[in-house]
Amino acid sequence: MNKDSLSGLVLLALAGGYYWATGFIADSTLEDEVGAVGLPHALTLALVLLGLILLVRGLLAARAAAAHAATGPGAARVEDEERDARVPRALGFLAIGAAYVVLLPYLGYLVSVALLIGAVSLFEGAPRRWTVPLTAIGGALLYWAVFVKLLGVNQPAGLLFQGWLS
């Protein structure tokens, strides 16, 4: 299945989910002629139409591509494969961000940011040397000093270190 067909299906699923969630919008005595569900219904319809167009376009393109099947992988195909190979890395990056979100309320800003910088640096290929923790701690102290102390931007102190890192 090519990108357009897949995108079309995702759009249709998204439209279905959005329409389902529209059912939870409560009625109001202040309702106007269009109502709170007017625009959502119009948007659902638009997304269904666009999803169908993409799906059909993708299927037609797939059929045309099959008719002109190349003997080897084309440049675009190789490019796609290279990009697909990087998807797990992007997900790993996201997982580090998600871990930061979970740990932030417990460990507080200073410790969480140090862990974040260290983890991302290692994940992105920094050599496993003493420079990683040193850079992570230095970076966290720098951010904490600039944002929390200098600019007065509030960041969570954390449950574990509350009182002496805020």
Please tell me the distance from the alpha carbon of residue 21 to that of residue 12, in angstroms, as a whole number.
14
77 binds other proteins (CB under 8 A): no
Q: In this chain, which of 9, 16, 18, 61 binds other proteins, going by CB under 8 A?
A: 18
User: How many residues lie near other proteins (CB under 8 A)?
Assistant: 72
94 binds other proteins (CB under 8 A): yes
Q: Are 86 and 124 in contact (CB under 8 A)?
A: no
Q: Are 129 and 119 in contact (CB under 8 A)?
A: no
Q: In this chain, which of 9, 43, 59, 62 binds other proteins, going by CB under 8 A?
A: 43
Q: Which stretch binds other proteins (CB under 8 A): 8-16, 59-67, 70-78, 157-165?
A: 8-16
Q: Which two tokens stand for residue 32?
A: 């106007």
Q: In this chain, which of 23, 72, 152, 163 binds other proteins, going by CB under 8 A?
A: 152
Q: For residues 113-142, which are near other proteins according to CB under 8 A?
A: 113, 116-126, 135-136, 139-140
| Residue with the two structure tokens 């569900």 | 37
Distances (CA, A) of 146 to 104, 109, 150: 18, 13, 5
166 binds other proteins (CB under 8 A): no
The secondary structure of 109-131 as a DSSP string is HHHHHHHHHHHHHHHTT--SSTH
107 binds other proteins (CB under 8 A): no
111 binds other proteins (CB under 8 A): no
